[in-house]
Structure formats: structure tokens, C-alpha cells
Structure 1
């Protein structure tokens, strides 16, 4: 058995929480307005991306791909990030759930062959600062989610645009995955047209204007050497 990936989060009260990741899941097509999601699926189909059999979707990802890193290695130039939030289950109740920022780095070449495959080609980068979900539950929709590709704003939305954490916690409970060590990413929001997504750096921010808090992650994208053979 391989060692579990370990993530450590700083909380606003100055404490830290360390979690061994045993299950990692990426939500997809998870907009709260499912009519807009259907239109987006149709657009992706024109680009060759296979449509899901149901929405919202949920993709299992290898747990070691949950990372807190400043660099992501890729095999070619057509990969990009996606601004998301992440739930970190640290215990048996919803009081034990943390919320942090995340960026799901995705292989766009592989995506046309299988979305689930593309999610396993690069890491999910998570922030190092997290909040207890119960502390922000009463104003989740006011929290903003933004991403910059090469320092150009490419995604700008709020958590009101995505299905709620409660939706996904219920889904985890139904699948017997509500347990310490489960990490779930929310799915992403629309990208701004005309911004180059195949960038050399990505930065994502969750901003809570009510409690004046930010959770951020960022990384550079590094091309690996060309294969031999």
C-alpha cells in the first residue's frame, strides 16, 4: 500500500489541520442553472468533447493528484486550469468539513477522448488556507471565485453560480464517501471569451467579503522534455 497524500491547511484561528487524502472527486457540469449547463455541453460537443450521460457529473481522481504545489508539469501546450472550490472532509460530521480554493488542471487534448481521463492527467492544486464550512454557510453565495491566466482575469463568478456544498455532501453520504480523507472539487465556472487559457501560470482566489478573508492558490505550468521513442 502506498502512503496517502497529506495536505495541511491553515485556519483563521491560527490552528492547522492535516488530512490524509483517501478519496478525490471532481464534480463536472455543476452549474446551478442546468439549462445553461446543457447549452455549454452542446458547445463542447461541437469541439469533440463527449457529453456526459448525466448532469451533474462526478469523476473519481487518483488521490495522489490532490496537491499543494507551486508548479505543474505537463506534456504539451494544450492544458489549462479551472477555478473551483474544494471540500475537505476531516471527520464524521458537517462541522468537520473545510472549504478551500482549488484549481483543476486539465489536459484539453485528452478531454476529447474522455473527461474522466483528462481529470487524471494533471493535479488538482489546492490552497493552503481553509475555512470551516459552518463559519461561511450563511453567506456562501456572496463568496467570489476568480482566476487569472498569466495575470489576466479569465474567470469571475460567485459561489451562487455553482451547486452548493450541501448538494455534494449529500452526494458523498449517499455513496458512503462522507468520511475523513475525502476531497471534492466543485466544478468550474464560465471562462471569459478571448482570454488565452493555455497559459504559463494560473492563480485562483476565493474571497469572502463578509469576513474579509481570502484563500488562494497559484502555480506555474512547466513543459516536460519531449519523449524519446
Structure 2
């Protein structure tokens, strides 16, 4: 290679590994190659429309299709414990994530937190999704082993302000469209590819809790008490030198 040549890896060679403990204690490592974020994906259509109307009142553009799906850069998927943000108006969202392993039948489910720039969101939801990471949990279940009990999984999130934590989201997966909904549609469109991560959309926030926090903790817990969790601090960067 000469000094003027630049080596550009092919997509299949790029690595963004995530690691999960799975039932039995083994560790799975999967390279993330594609990322998709579902939105407006609640099962209660009236509640979804109420959410759309609430966001519209705040200036957030309404989607043209419900539920919707936002493709993201794969390098936004992370398991970091620290999220750096440009200003104070960012927050997370408690979600599940579907992770495609070696093939379309090798599916894992974990907890996730979709961190979002709320100031940018009013200019375009797709833009805001590209501006902050999707955080994945530490534990994952094979989807085939839990498909019949997913509605009983608890999904909760806490925000931290200083040393104080407050519950900001509290629900179950029964409130969201199930993984099978997205598996069928992504398979039909050729998008259920190895290394794909799909986030579910979120459940309602508890009113009166300040979501613009110093940190987030999100947990997904099965009926036996096994929990997958995401915990991270939010660090505001210095002001730009404009």
C-alpha cells in the first residue's frame, strides 16, 4: 500500500461486537451490522395516537406511518456505561431489543435504552435517533425459549439526579408489539440479517418525573426474576467554540 492509499474495510469485515450472558452462564458475542429502531409501536392504538398528539403539541413531526421504523448506523449500538451529549435536553427510553445472531432463526432478546436528543427531535425523529446511542443489556434470552411468556416480562426505567433515583417508566411487554410482529415483517422485506439489532419502541413515561437526568438504569425481568439491565451515566460535553 502506498502512502496515498486508504484501506476501507468491507461491511462484513467491520466489527462492532456486543456480548451477552445467556441462560446457563455462557457468553455470546455478536457483531452488530445493522440497527433499526421501531417507533409508535404500542399495542393500544388509542394510546399511540394520544402519544402522537402529545408530541405534535411539542412540535415533533407526526409519523406518516404507524408503527414506523428508523434505520440507524450500526455503530450507534453500544454497551457503554457513559453517554456523552451536547446539551441537557436528552433522555433515554426503556425498550426491548431483538438481536439476530448467526442466521434469521438465531434470535436473542435483551433490554435496551434508546437515548434520544429531544431538542433535535422537533426537527425530525429520524435525525434525533442518529444523534445518540442505543444501549443494550448485559443478559439475553433465546427468543424461542421465552416467546410464550413475553407479555409477563416487566420493563422498568429509573433516572438518576445526583445520588437520587426515581422510577420513570413501569410496564410490561404486553404494552408493546411483540418481537414476532417485527420478525415477520423484517423477514418479508429481507431485513432479518445476521448482526441486525431491532429496538421495540417504548412505554409511557411517568408524569412529573424529570427525564433529563444524570444517569439511566433500565431493566427487563422475566417471570422467574432473571434480569437484563442497562446502566449508564450521562455526561454533558463542553460548549462548542463558536
**Secondary structure in structure 1 of the residue aligned to 2:47:** helix
- Normalising by the residue count of structure 1, what TM-score does the alignment of the two structures yield? 0.97
Matches of residues 131-146 of structure 1 in structure 2 within 5 Å?
Answer: 131-146=141-156
Q: What is the match of residue 238 of structure 2?
A: 225
Matches of residues 1-229 of structure 1 in structure 2 within 5 Å?
Answer: 1=8, 3-94=14-105, 96-150=106-160, 151-209=165-223, 211-229=224-242
Deviation for aligned residue 1:138: 1.1
Deviation for aligned residue 1:39: 1.4
Partners of 2:57 and 2:104 lie apart in 1 by 42
Structure 1 residues 203-228: Cα deviation after superposition (integer angstroms, max 9, x where no partner): 0000112x321000110000111111
Deviation for aligned residue 1:91: 2.6
Query: Is 75-84 or 128-137 further displaced after alignment?
Result: 128-137
Indicate the RMSD between aligned Cα atoms, in angstroms: 0.9
**Aligned residues, how many?**
227
Deviation for aligned residue 1:178: 1.1
Structure 1 residues 139-159: Cα deviation after superposition (integer angstroms, max 9, x where no partner): 100001000011200000000
Contact residue 81 and residue 104 of structure 1 kept, 8 A: yes
Q: Which has the larger radius of gyration?
A: 2
Contact residue 49 and residue 112 of structure 1 kept, 8 A: yes
Partners of 1:18 and 1:120 lie apart in 2 by 24
- Normalising by the residue count of structure 2, what TM-score does the alignment of the two structures yield? 0.92
Structure 1 residue ranges without an equivalent (≥5): none
**Secondary structure in structure 2 of the residue aligned to 1:27:** strand
**Segments ≥4 residues shifted beyond 3 Å:** none
Contact residue 104 and residue 194 of structure 2 kept, 8 A: no
Partners of 2:87 and 2:15 lie apart in 1 by 28
